[in-house]
């Protein structure tokens, strides 16, 4: 296997450059993606096409997981804030004689 067909690495610690023209993959694009067969006399798919597509899928998956992690952090922050607010106001409510 020559160097051209080897899977490219990420030199910048996993960060991937994405141009402004890049559009995220949609699920139907992944499902319907087809690869051209390699040249006459060889079997299989063109490794460059496959690796490029897999890298694109990996970038989109990383973005989804990052957004999910951020959403979970935000949810935890809001829940903690709500718990603090409820604790702070539970004493005030009981002192006034209000029960709900």
- Cβ contact 45:33 at 8 Å: no
Local confidence pLDDT in tens for the 100 residues of the chain:
444 555 544 444 445 566 777 787 778 888 888 888 787 777 788 888 888 888 888 888 888 989 999 999 999 999 999 999 999 988 766 566 655 5
Q: CB of 48 within 8 A of CB of 4?
A: yes
Prediction pTM value: 0.54
- Print the SS3 string covering 63-99: HHHHHHHHHHHHHHHHHHHHHHHHHHHHHHHHHCCCC
**Which pLDDT score, from 0 to 100, does residue 81 have?**
97
Domain residue ranges in the chain: 27-33+45-96
Q: With the C-alpha atoms ordered 10, 15, 69, 28, is the resulting torsion angle positive or negative?
A: negative
Please give the pLDDT value at position 11.
42
- Tokens 């079997």: give the residue: 43
């Amino acid at each position: 296997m020559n160097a051209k067909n080897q899977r490219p690495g990420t030199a910048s610690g996993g960060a991937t450059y994405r141009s402004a023209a890049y559009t995220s993959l949609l699920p139907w694009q992944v499902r319907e993606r087809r690869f051209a067969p390699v040249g006459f006399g060889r079997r299989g798919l063109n490794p460059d096409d496959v690796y490029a597509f897999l890298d694109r899928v990996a970038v989109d998956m990383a973005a989804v997981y990052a957004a999910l992690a951020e959403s979970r952090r935000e949810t935890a922050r809001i829940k903690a804030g709500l718990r603090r607010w409820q604790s702070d106001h539970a004493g005030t409510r009981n002192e006034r004689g209000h029960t709900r």
